[in-house]
């Protein structure tokens, strides 16, 4: 998709132009963040089809909320926050991740496939708060500061949730941990 | 085993969230504390297990990306349409308001035009000279016309 903006234009500038009605600026912003947000959505909701829906709804929500974006956090953090909230809303309404979790098994040997299924099942069984911090930390490699900003909780809360989430995963996955 | 004072910092160390000075303290402590070393190894094993077994897609497929942009365009058009409807509704209110205002102005204009008052005032001023002139100009005119009709 050809868009009029190069990578030299900052995210905040694109957001500002989009807020003033520049549709191309918003499409350019979407192009920059779509892949990362999609991966995050898959990790949070468990399958590509639902993740695509969550991503679409999140970005429509972001477009409608552009005028309220103050620039206090980065565009990346702002979009991530919207997506995490949308994924949580989606899961609350559907509650079907366990049934459709797709994390595709790679053509490894059987034990590898079992490990993948068990790890993904263990993550999907976590509470929403614990799953969010595990995904943001372990798969998105976000710092505690960034996670706190995305979830809008104190850093201490992030650490305690992460600690409890890891304890829960350790218990569920002890067969794979020496 | 009694909990080591560094135990609570191990997770932050593992996640790279400590400042360099505190990290250096942890590193020198790890060389002397088998309990903390074992705990750090467990944290690393869990992270490795998660990262190597959760396979996420590289990103959106081209088709999905196209669908996403099309959906956004549609949402933007909806927004423009909503804004247009809103502006139309305001314009309609303004037109209705103006129409009501004009109708009221017409009711007010049904009263005698200002020149009638002027004519009455002029007649009053001339009443001393001519007693017939104490009546409004239109009545005086009709009376005069009647008189001329009655004369042979």
Q: What is the mean pLDDT of residues A14-27?
A: 90
Nearest CA in chain A to B50: A119
For the ranges A114-118, B72-76, B99-103, B143-147, the lowest mean pLDDT is seen at B143-147
Q: Average the pLDDT over A52-58 and give the result.
A: 95
User: Is A30 in contact with B47 (Cβ distance < 8 A)?
Assistant: no
Q: Is B70 on the interface with A (CB under 8 A)?
A: no
**How confident is the model over A137-147, as a mean pLDDT?**
95
Nearest-Cα distance to chain A for B95, in Å, is: 28
Residues A134, A126 contacting (CB under 8 angstroms): yes
Alpha-carbon distance of A78 to A73, in angstroms, equals 6
User: Any CB–CB contact under 8 A between A44 and chain B?
Assistant: no
| Predicted local confidence at residue B118, as pLDDT | 61
The answer, yes or no, to whether residue A111 has pLDDT greater than 70, is no
Say how far apart CA A5 and CA A3 lie, in whole Å: 6
pLDDT of residue A155: 95
Enumerate the residues of chain A whose CB falls inside 8 A of the CB of residue B42: 170, 177
- The verdict on a CB contact (< 8 Å) between A39 and B59 is yes
In the predicted structure, residue A37 carries a pLDDT above the cut 80: yes
* B65/B151: higher pLDDT: B65
User: In angstroms, how far apart are the furthest CA atoms of chain A?
Assistant: 56
- Model's pTM, two decimal places? 0.71
> Which residues neighbour B39 within 8 Å (Cβ) at sequence distance 6 or greater?
B7, B10
For residue B122, what pLDDT is reported? 58
Cβ pair B49:A115 closer than 8 A: yes
Question: What pLDDT score was predicted for residue B52?
Answer: 92
Instruction: Tell me the pLDDT band of A1, cut-offs 50, 70 and 90.
Output: very low
CA distance A175 to A9: 49
CA distance A161 to B47: 15
Compute the CA torsion angle A93, A96, A102, A108 (nearest 10 deg): 140
CB distance B68–A43 less than 8 Å?
Answer: no
| pLDDT-derived band at B149, boundaries 50, 70, 90 | low
Question: Measured between alpha carbons, how far is A26 from A17 in angstroms, rounded to an integer?
Answer: 8
Q: For B126, which DSSP code?
A: T
Sign of CA dihedral A132, A138, A144, A147: negative
A111 close contact with B: CB closer than 8 A: no
Beta carbons of B60 and A60 less than 8 Å apart: no
pLDDT average, residue stretch B100-117: 70
Neighbours of A115 (CB within 10 A): 18
- A3 to chain B, any CB pair closer than 8 A? The answer is no
Q: How many other C-beta atoms are found inside a 10 Å radius of the C-beta of residue A106?
A: 10
Q: What is the pLDDT of residue B142?
A: 66
Is pLDDT above 60 for A102?
Answer: no
> Which of A2-16, A63-77, A127-141, B116-130 bottoms out in mean pLDDT, i.e. has the lowest?
B116-130
- What pLDDT score was predicted for residue A144? 96
Average pLDDT of the residues in A136-160: 95
CA dihedral over B96, B101, B105, B108, signed as positive or negative: positive
Per-residue model confidence (pLDDT) at position B125: 60
Give the whole-angstrom CA distance, residue B49 versus residue A116. 9
Determine whether the interchain pair A52/B50 forms a contact, defined as Cβ–Cβ distance below 8 Å.
no
Confidence of residue A70 (pLDDT cuts 50, 70, 90): confident
Residue B55 in contact with partner chain A when CB distance is under 8 A: yes
pLDDT at B114: 62
């Amino acid at each position: 998709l050809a868009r009029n903006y190069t990578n030299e234009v900052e995210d905040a500038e694109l957001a500002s132009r989009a807020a003033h009605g520049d549709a191309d600026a918003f499409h350019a912003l979407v192009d920059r963040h779509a892949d990362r947000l999609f991966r995050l959505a898959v990790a949070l909701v468990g399958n590509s089809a639902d993740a695509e829906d969550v991503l679409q709804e999140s970005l429509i929500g972001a477009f409608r909320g552009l005028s309220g974006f103050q620039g206090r956090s980065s565009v990346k953090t702002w979009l991530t926050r919207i997506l995490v909230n949308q994924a949580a809303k989606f899961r609350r309404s559907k509650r079907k991740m366990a049934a459709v979790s797709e994390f595709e098994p790679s053509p490894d040997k059987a034990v590898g496939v079992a490990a993948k299924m068990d790890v993904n099942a263990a993550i999907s069984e976590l509470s929403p708060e614990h799953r969010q911090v595990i995904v943001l930390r372990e798969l998105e490699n976000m710092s505690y500061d960034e996670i706190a900003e995305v979830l809008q909780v104190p850093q201490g809360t992030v650490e305690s949730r992460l600690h409890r989430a890891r304890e829960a995963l350790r218990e569920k996955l002890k067969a794979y941990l020496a | 085993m009694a909990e080591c004072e560094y135990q609570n910092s191990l997770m932050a160390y593992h996640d790279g969230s400590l400042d360099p000075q505190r990290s250096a303290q942890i590193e020198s402590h790890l060389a002397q504390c088998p309990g903390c070393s074992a705990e750090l190894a467990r944290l690393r094993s869990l992270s490795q297990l998660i990262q190597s077994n959760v396979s996420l897609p590289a990103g959106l497929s081209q088709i999905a990306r196209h669908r996403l942009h099309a959906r956004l365009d549609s949402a933007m058009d909806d927004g423009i349409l909503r804004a247009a409807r809103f502006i139309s509704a305001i314009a309609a209110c303004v037109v209705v308001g103006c129409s009501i205002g004009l109708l009221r102005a017409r009711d007010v204009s049904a009263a005698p035009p200002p020149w009638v008052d002027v004519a009455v005032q002029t007649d009053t001023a001339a009443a001393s000279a001519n007693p017939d002139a104490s009546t409004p100009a239109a009545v005086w005119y009709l009376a005069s016309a009647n008189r001329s009709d009655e004369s042979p």
